[in-house]
Structure 1
Amino acid sequence: MSVSEITGTTQTRPSQRRRLLVLAICCMSLLIVSLDTTVLNVALPSMRREFHTGVAGMQWTVDAYTLVLASLLILAGSTADRIGRRKVFKTGLVLFTLGSVLCSLAPNLESLVAFRMLQAIGGSMLNPVAMSIITNTFTDPRERARAIGAWGAVVGISMAAGPVVGGLLVETVGWRSIFWINVPVGLTALLLTWRYVPESRAPKPRRADPVGQLLVITLLGSLTYAIIEAPTTGPATLLPFAALAAAALTALVLYEPRRPEPLIDLCFFRSAPFSGATVIAISSFAALSGFLFLNTLYLQDVRGLTALQAGLYMLPMAALTFLCAPLSGRLVAGRGPRLPLIVAGTSMAACGLLFAAFEAETSTPLLFTGYVLFGLGFGMVNAPITNTAVSGMPRSQAGVAAAVASTSRQTGATLGVAVIGSVLAAGTGAAGHATGFVEAARPAWWIITACALTVLAVGLATSGRWARETARRTAQRLESADTHPTADDSRA
């Protein structure tokens, strides 16, 4: 496959300067999406007071965004492969920026949730498409791994800057201002994309799969609704929506292999590293979202800190994530994903154990130790997830592969807030009173510990020689299917 087939715009490999510009533009899109999450967490108590809502209301403020994002990422990735990655990327920037403006003007909780969903539609067109652009721009495996390491460092930057910037804005201007910061970054990224990012698409575009898309939305939506609303409505809500989620999952597994070009190509999961990366992404981002949700409420509602003080308290965790992300990228490039995953799982599990077994919240030294351990672990986990998801896959499938990885992250983030928030609400009451917060949060910390141990166990199981061989066979099968369309029948 020639470069011209991949980019559709040039006959030569992009220059080093242009490649770095493309990386910077893609990282800007990741920055506003990631920053939006960390900034929002610090503002949750202020939103709750203004809108007179409880823990469930705050869960929906977060999960309305991550749920829509998770539901549409694969569609956005495959659509970008089909009609053009730059075109979809620009559309995403416009929608995300517009959604940010509307969020800042929301008159009530319901409209805020609706505008967050609009943000998410735009966000779904950014991260997986940007990763696909990076994959097709940096064709050398070592260069790509370093680029992905830089990409992961942006998550650290957002975690470092988000709580502090968010806290400062909440205290001085108000929570609505947290959405304003997306506007100049989004507009700048849009102008630079117009100027520097070449158009690219897959040589063999994939057809749309509306039934598969509807099943994914039904699965994630019903599962999240059941988990969030169960503490207040009980089994009457949990059982029917859980049954609907199970039915959607069953239908998805039965329907997708029968399509020549499915929304989710289940053949991908024959690769042990790819399947492992999916599980690790769900587990690690569930741990992250639960960690941020618990600590934001604890620091402000129980310790009585201001939004800015709470952001500064969490700075050690964010700083370690920022420092470790590029290191993890270099380790993945030089030695593979095994060591970073071991460090990630062990560190995050140790953090969860400090809070679950030793009530680290009640001791400031233990609190900061837990923050450092979690930052170290999470900083190490992102590069192995991304690199494993896209490396070895045919470049024609880059958008879909990157979208599955991003979907796994957002699914984990959605479930993390839903489960952790529901456990907390069940222990403290639906209104989220501070009384007994530490005791009520203990089961949630055990869940976070279990997520971290899953990262460790799955990382060890899917990073060996056997796993790499399954990845090689899967890549050959996918390449054969791209070359000989009739081979699709064999994947059913």
Structure 2
Amino acid sequence: MAAVGGSGRRTIVLAVCCSALFMVGLDNTIVNVGLPEIGSSLHTSVAGLQWTIAGYTIVLASLLMFSGAAADRIGRRTIFQVGLSLFTLGSWLCSLAPSLAWLIAFRVLQGIGGSMLNPAALGIITNVFSAPKDRAKAIGVWDGVSGLSMALGPVAGGILVGSVGWRGIFWANIPVGLAAIALTALLVPDSKADRGREADPVGQFFVIVMLASLAYAIIQGPSDGWTSPYIVGFFLLSLLALAFLLRYEPRRAEPLIDFRFFKSVPFSAANATAVCAIATSAGFLFLTTLYLQDVRGFSPLRAGLTLLPMPVMMAISSPISGRILARGGPRVPFVIAGAALTLSTAALSQLSPTSGPLFLIVTYGLFGLGAGMVNVPISNGVMSGVPRSQAGVASGMNSSSRQLGQSLGVAIVGSVLAASLRGSMHAGFLTAAHAGWWIMAGCGYAVLVLGVVSTTGWARATADRTTATFSADPAPAVAAVIQG
């Protein structure tokens, strides 16, 4: 470090790591803006649009913990470079996709690369910024980039789709990825854990089977029939994979998923809250994009600008949530988040073809308030619900929960829309989407209830008992944290 100028080089390393987070975060919102044009260009159904999102998020959710362990064992810079290369290559191939099937395949490749970026990047930051104060500042910048990518996604997507078409949304990642690859090779130091976690390929395989078969059954259910042997078979396959994991993982010394964590109510509730909250956000973006462009006829840029109250309020409310939590605990932020998500999505069930700007600003802003308030108490619940020595593993599991919520939100809300849609999207969307908004309102209410339950004295006692079951200083694992 010192040979190149320690402070300046550390800043560049932080910028490179944040660029990876920016690409992954941007991808979660920018692609949604392009969905209507993707559907029109590739002549795909609602299910095809769902797979465009789910093909990426399912792989990301499945591989996060595996990638984090691989970074610790093989080397964080090595895994980071591989992730950057795969994500950049996948983005370029997505922009060239001749059909929906190829687009989904290339999105899977993006997801494989994306799963490697954040665990490795956070490990690099932790290693480079060794002083606690410097590390805290670096992590603060890291978290801020997540909010920035969320805010810029709808606008950047609108500009690119409106000017060069939907393929342009994938071009945005290429120059950033190439620059990050070059700077990583030149300036980022390599590091690995003194003792990396053992690989768990069997557990990893069944995690992928469980999530992929569940998503397939939910997405294809409306077209194939919910009671068809094919769909029922995929639901059963998902359950069998879960049953195998519940039996197999506790027998391993270093399992991919340590189910003992779930005896802690704050930890379990935080992960369930993450699934509910992120599923609501994913469903909101999916339905809102279709409403603004297919029903209202807005251009992609105008749709992106109309969405801005949501990410702006997220950026404002997230630090406020942290301050409230620091002064009085996580219950108030959880309640505010749950109430805001519930009220906004319930109100959006009343959308009409002529809903005015004030209605959209208020409901989108209220939704952003809830989405911003919930992230900090989720992270607090995960970290306070398990021993500090297990923070890395717990954080990786929470990151997977967030990505699982992303996958399920699009899968469930999209399937409800597809099952109820009659006629064209323009004519039938509002009626077909009604149930989807109320499902999201139910998820918002679940956030509120879980927030209250997980902050009781009984819940804290379960966390204390869980902590006592672990040894004082087990082998550390990488913290694979993805916000939002």
TM-score for the superposition, normalised by structure 2: 0.89
Partner in structure 2 of residue 30 of structure 1: 21
Identity fraction in percent = 52
Q: Which one-letter code corresponds to 2:394 in the other structure? A: A
Among 213, 228, 238, the alignment partner of 1:222 is: 213
Contact 2:266 2:385 in 1 (8 A): no
2:198 and 2:49 mapped to 1: Cα distance?
37
Evaluate the alpha carbon distance shift between residue 204 and residue 334 of structure 1 in structure 2; reply closer, same or farther with a 3 A threshold: farther
* 1:186 and 2:143 correspond: no
CA contact (8 A) 2:265 2:385 kept: no
Could you say which residue in structure 2 is the equivalent of 1:39?
30
Tell whether 2:279 aligns with 1:283.
no
**1:55–1:432: 8 Å Cα contact kept in structure 2?**
no
* Change beyond 3 A, Cα 1:131–1:332: farther
Q: List per-residue Cα deviations over 1:211-263 (Å, max 9, x = no partner).
A: 11111011101100000001001021321111111111111111110111111
Q: Which runs of 5+ in 2 are unaligned?
A: 477-484
SS in 1 for 2:56: helix
Q: CA deviation at 1:37?
A: 1.9
Paired residue secondary structure (2:455): coil
Task: Please say if residues 56 and 229 of structure 1, whose CA atoms lie closer than 8 Å, have aligned partners that are also in contact.
Answer: yes
Verify the 8 A CA contact 2:267 2:386 in the aligned structure 1: no
Equivalent residue number for residue 355 of structure 1: 348
- Partners of 1:278 and 1:408 within 8 A in 2: yes
Structure 1: 5+ residue stretches without partners: 1-8, 485-492
Matched, 1:438 2:430: yes
Question: Which AA in structure 2 matches 1:354?
Answer: A
Q: Please point out which of 373, 398, 405 is paired with 2:398.
A: 405
Q: Contact conserved, 1:149 with 1:325, CA < 8 A, in 2?
A: no
Does structure 2 conserve the Cα–Cα contact (< 8 Å) formed by 1:270 and 1:471?
Answer: yes
Q: Does 1:462 align with 2:454?
A: yes
Of 244, 255, 268, 1:262 maps to 255
- Select which of 76, 91, 97 maps to 2:67: 76
- State the secondary structure of the residue aligned to 1:126: helix
Report the Cα distance in structure 2 between the residues aligned to 1:399 and 1:132, rounded to whole angstroms. 10
Aligned to 2:330: 337
Distance change in 2, residues 1:446/1:58 (3 Å):
same
Q: Which residue of 1 aligns with 2:479?
A: none
- Alignment check: 8 A CA contact 1:202 1:396 kept: no
The residue number in structure 1 matching 2:233 is 240
The C-alpha deviation readout for 1:188-228, integer Å capped at 9, x for no partner, is: 33344445544443333221111111110111011000000
Tell me what 1:4 maps to.
none
Please give the per-residue CA displacement for 1:268-290, whole angstroms capped at 9, x wherever unaligned.
22332222221111111100110
Q: In 1, are the aligned partners of 2:352 and 2:430 still within 8 Å (CA)?
A: no
Counterpart AA for 1:410? Q
Correspondence for 1:311: 304
Per-residue deviation at 1:145?
6.7
**Letter of the structure 1 residue corresponding to residue 415 of structure 2:** S
Q: Which of residues 474, 477, 482 is equivalent to 1:482? A: 474
Structure 1 320/138 Cα, relative in aligned 2: closer, same or farther at 3 Å?
farther
Give, in whole Å, the separation in 1 of the partners of 2:237 and 2:347: 37
Q: 1:138 to 1:448 in 2, by over 3 A?
A: farther
CA distance in 2, matches of 1:115, 1:480: 44
1:244 counterpart SS class: helix
Would the aligned equivalents of 2:267 and 2:384 in 1 still touch at CA under 8 Å? no
Q: Which residue of 1 aligns with 2:98?
A: 107
Equivalent position SS for 2:298: coil
Single out whichever of 333-342 and 251-260 deviates more from structure 2. Answer: 333-342
Comparing 280-289 with 391-400, which one deviates more in the overlay?
391-400
Say if 2:83 and 2:116, in contact at 8 Å, map to a contact too: yes
2:22 maps to a residue whose letter is: L
Cα 1:330–1:84 shift into 2, 3 Å: farther
Partner SS for 2:338: helix
Q: Would you say the 8 A contact 2:318–2:372 is kept in 1?
A: yes
* Corresponding residue SS for 2:425: coil
Q: Deviation of residue 470 (structure 1)? A: 3.9
Shift of 1:481: 6.7
Compared with structure 1, are the counterparts of its residues 461 and 145 closer, same or farther at alpha carbon in structure 2 (3 Å cutoff)? farther
User: C-alpha separation between the residues in 2 aligned to 1:418 and 1:142?
Assistant: 41
User: Secondary structure of 2:167's partner?
Assistant: helix
Secondary structure in structure 2 of the residue aligned to 1:261: coil
Is the 1:149–1:329 contact (alpha carbons within 8 Å) kept by the matching residues of 2?
no
Are 1:81 and 1:399, in contact at CA under 8 Å, matched by a contact in 2? no
Deviation, 1:301, is 0.6
Counterpart of 1:347 in structure 2: which amino acid? A
> Is the 1:128–1:402 contact (alpha carbons within 8 Å) kept by the matching residues of 2?
no
Residue correspondences, number: 471
State the distance in 2 between where 1:19 and 1:338 align.
37
Deviation at 1:314, TM superposition (A): 0.3
